[in-house]
């Protein structure tokens, strides 16, 4: 448990910050003309026409959504933490014992 609580607040702050940034980018993407065109075109569900989406995609697409919404902030967080650690080691002055 001590490793879970080690520097918990800064790590949580970074995860929440990156998640908010990704959410803001997705909101801004929703306001683009490209997204408006997709929303106007729509997708028909069960109106008698044959579905043009393969049946196996019904099982794959939810995992892709989770991977994007959870995995991208996670990878960004890990990258920021590794970069921070690298810069901290690079800048940290070396103590010379005499």
Q: Encode pLDDT of 17-58 as tens digits.
A: 888 988 899 899 989 998 888 888 776 555 556 657 777 888
Sequence-distant (≥ 6) Cβ neighbours of residue 86 within 8 angstroms: none
28 against 96, higher pLDDT: 28
- Name the range with the highest mean pLDDT among 4-8, 46-50, 80-84, 89-93: 80-84
* Helical residues (DSSP H) of 1-98, grouped into ranges: 2-5, 8-30, 33-41, 57-66, 72-91
Q: What angle do CA 20, 24, 30 make, to 5 degrees?
A: 145
Residues 75 and 25: beta-carbon distance below 8 Å: no
pLDDT at residue number 28? 92
Q: Encode pLDDT of 56-86 as tens digits.
A: 888 888 888 888 888 888 898 899 889 988 9
């Amino acid at each position: 448990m001590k490793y879970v609580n080690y520097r918990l607040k800064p790590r949580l702050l970074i995860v929440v910050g990156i998640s908010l940034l990704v959410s803001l980018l997705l909101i801004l993407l929703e306001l683009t003309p490209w997204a408006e065109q997709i929303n106007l075109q729509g997708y028909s569900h069960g109106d008698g026409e044959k579905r043009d989406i393969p049946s196996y995609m019904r099982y794959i697409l939810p995992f892709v959504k989770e991977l994007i919404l959870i995995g991208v902030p996670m990878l960004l967080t890990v990258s920021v933490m590794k970069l921070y650690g690298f810069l901290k080691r690079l800048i940290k002055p070396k103590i010379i014992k005499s």
